[in-house]
Amino acid sequence: MKRLAVSLGELASWDNLLLATWKAARGKRSRPQVQAFLADLDGALARLAAGILDGAVPVGRYREFLIHDPKLRRIHAACFEDRVLHHAILNLVGPVFERSLVDSSYACRPGMGSHAAVLRAQQHLRRHAWFGQVDVAGYFPAINHVTLKGLLARCFKGGDFLALLGRIIDGYEAVPGHGLPIGALTSQHFANHYLDGADRLLRTHPAVCAHLRYMDDMLWWCARREDVREVLAELSAYLAAERGLCLKPAPEINRSSHGLRFCGYRIKPGTIRLTRRKQRRYRVLRTHWEAAWERGEIDSPSLQRAYDALLAPTLLADARVWRQHDLRIHPCLYDHGEG
């Protein structure tokens, strides 16, 4: 693939930074940090552009917190100025990442995402006899900075721009020389690109009938159990040698007729169900938002939007009967017309 030349002047252009600002501010304009940036928009963008052109723009300013979604994760949220910078970078390099990825990779891509991945997984379950499923142990903390920067240098050229990407990558370490912060926009795309070689290994393997990846959760289908095991051994060796990654123990190898768990759903050839974890999350968050509405912390339209957000992930699954049962046990405090 021909490398894309990216200059700091292009990155720091007014149009690019302004577009990045609106993307970064979407849904967050009520936050004090965003309001302060927008109140002095011209000055803020001028300072950001000057920092980019001077090669001295601050990077790696993260707010750290923990979430349980569904397991304990340490999130690093970039400050608003850093988020604008990240969006400005992705405005330029995003199309290159998109073109480089195979069509069986579903994370961080327009028009794809987890729901499309679930539906495609179900199609493959119907068509192929056996599957293997693995994910990487501690994926984001395990990403090697030197290896990642080498992969990016194969896609882009421009010493100053690559130096900026290197500063962003080196601005966070889980252990020395390794790790990307979960929660940063650049981390998502860098991490997705990091496993593109594994996609191509699986797609070109003669025993693999079909392949699917959502970030570090990888699936492949074969005609025989022995083929799945052979592919697993080759994939594990490739990830260790080329990316410095280890797979989680106990990979799943099973008949497609038994179904699999993927992206929060229990998928079988004839049905898609919510996992118990996803059901519990729906119930806990509905209770949380209703309690906030009762206390007067949010208004009715905000509660309606929260209901809509909770309902959306359930629509992919055969969950209508479960939702009706849950509503009978735990009636809604606010009538929003859900069936």
pLDDT tens for the chain, 339 residues: list them.
Answer: 789 999 999 999 999 999 999 999 998 888 999 999 999 999 999 999 999 999 989 888 888 888 876 677 888 888 999 999 999 999 999 999 999 999 999 999 998 999 999 999 999 999 999 999 999 999 999 999 999 999 999 999 999 999 999 999 999 999 999 999 999 999 999 999 999 999 999 999 999 999 999 999 999 999 999 999 999 999 999 999 999 999 999 999 999 999 999 999 999 999 999 999 889 888 888 888 989 998 889 888 888 899 899 899 899 999 889 888 888 887 776 654 444
Token digits for 256?
A: 């497609």
Which pLDDT score is estimated for 70? 65
Q: In the prediction, which pLDDT does 337 show?
A: 47
What is the helix (H) or strand (E) element at residue 318, kind and residue range? none
CA distance 108 to 114: 9
**Using an 8 Å Cβ cutoff, are 191 and 180 in contact?**
yes
CATH (one of 3.90.1150.10, 3.40.50.300, 3.30.70.270, 3.40.50.620) for 115-136+195-261: 3.30.70.270
Taking phi over 0 as left and psi of -120 to 50 as alpha, with beta for the rest, 113 belongs to left
**Among 7, 185, 180, 167, CA closest to 80:** 185
- Domain spans, the chain: 4-100+140-190, 115-136+195-261, 275-329
- With contact defined as beta carbons under 8 Å apart, do 102 and 112 qualify? no
Residue the block writes with tokens 């397991």: 71
Between the alpha carbon of residue 93 and those of residues 10, 101, 191, 281, the distances in Å are: 11, 13, 14, 35
Query: Could you tell me which residues are beta bridge partners of residue 65?
Result: 75
What residue has token string 């074969």? Answer: 222
Looking from the CA of 140 toward its CB, the CA atoms found within 13 Å total: 19
Under a CB-based contact definition with an 8 Å cutoff, are residues 269 and 256 in contact? yes
Predicted local confidence at residue 238, as pLDDT = 98
Asked whether the whole model's pTM tops 0.75, one would answer yes
Question: What confidence score (pLDDT) does residue 338 get?
Answer: 44
